[in-house]
Amino acid sequence: MTHKKRIVVGISGGIAAYKSAMLVSQLVQSGHVVSVVMTQSATKFVSPATFSALTGTPAVIDPMDPKYPLGPHIELAQNCNLMIVAPATARVIASCALGLADDLLSTLYLNMECPIVFAPAMSAPMWEKPAVQRNVKQLHSDGVHLVGPESGWLSCRRIGFGRMSQPEAILQACKPWLE
Ligand SMILES: Cc1cc2nc3c(=O)[nH]c(=O)nc-3n(C[C@H](O)[C@H](O)[C@H](O)COP(=O)(O)O)c2cc1C
């Protein structure tokens, strides 16, 4: 039996953000309470209205959002069972690995006490860069669970490593925390 969980889905600025609409919808249809946090860049790829409608609650972008008197980085972390960051851009991965807290998503990451799953997505050259690999290793050793990326068609019109895992694969990886 599936128990209702509180889940935060963080969305950063990559083409794969469109796949996250399906991920969020699947989580909601499974009975979970989902909040979406978007980076400013993510809003250029998919409208916050899409995620607000899918979750039934406004997508949060502003770290100073007045609807959260304690700050969304505090209130969204309270009683949260799982954080999923999909897509996780090279910038968000770096910010979280370094603990920069330079936007809402990376500040919320630092405040989370629940399991955290990242689904990276970027071009093959970006993914292969030593700087990115260093940051991914850091997240892994900090306890973050990584799903993908996979090899396949990339939006830069070549086949290579860096494609975000499909929503089904991300859900499968999250299964231990969704039951
Ligand atoms: C069309 C387009 C696609 C992009 N796709 C990605 C991507 O898949 N992964 C990534 O790390 N950056 C990607 N970028 C670059 C990011 O959008 C850029 O680094 C941005 O600053 C990330 O901001 P965020 O991490 O706050 O969302 C893309 C940029 C453009 C214009």
Q: How far is CA 144 from the centre of its chain?
A: 12
Specify which residues 158 forms β-bridges with: 154
Q: Which residue owns the Cα nearest ligand 1 atom 30?
A: 14
Locate the DSSP E strands across the chain.
Answer: 6-11, 33-38, 82-88, 116-120, 145-146, 150-154, 158-163
pLDDT of residue 155: 82
CATH of domain 6-178: 3.40.50.1950
Question: Can you tell me which atom of ligand 1 is nearest the CA of 11?
Answer: 27
pLDDT one digit per residue (tens) for the chain, 179 residues: 457 999 999 999 999 999 999 999 999 999 999 999 999 999 999 999 999 999 999 999 999 999 999 999 999 999 999 999 999 999 999 999 999 999 999 999 999 999 999 999 999 999 999 999 999 999 999 999 999 999 988 887 888 899 999 999 999 999 999 98
Which residues, other chains included, contact 132 with Cβ-Cβ below 8 Å and sequence gap of 6+? 90, 93, 94, 122, 126
Which of the listed residues 19, 20, 44, 91 should we mutate to test ligand 1's pocket, taking the one with most ligand atoms within 8 A of CB? 91
pTM for the structure as a whole: 0.97
pLDDT of residue 153: 83
41 alpha carbon to ligand 1 midpoint, in Å? 7
pLDDT of residue 15: 95
- CB contact at 8 A, 91 and 58: no
- The active-site residue, picked from 80, 96, 156, 174, is 156
Which residues, other chains included, contact 139 with Cβ-Cβ below 8 Å and sequence gap of 6+? 93, 96, 97, 118, 146
Which residue type, as a one-letter code, is found at position 105?
Answer: L
Domain boundaries, the chain: 6-178
> From CA 120, how far away is CA 69, in angstroms rounded?
31
Q: Which residues line ligand 1 (CB under 6 A)?
A: 12-16, 39, 41-42, 89-92, 121-122, 126
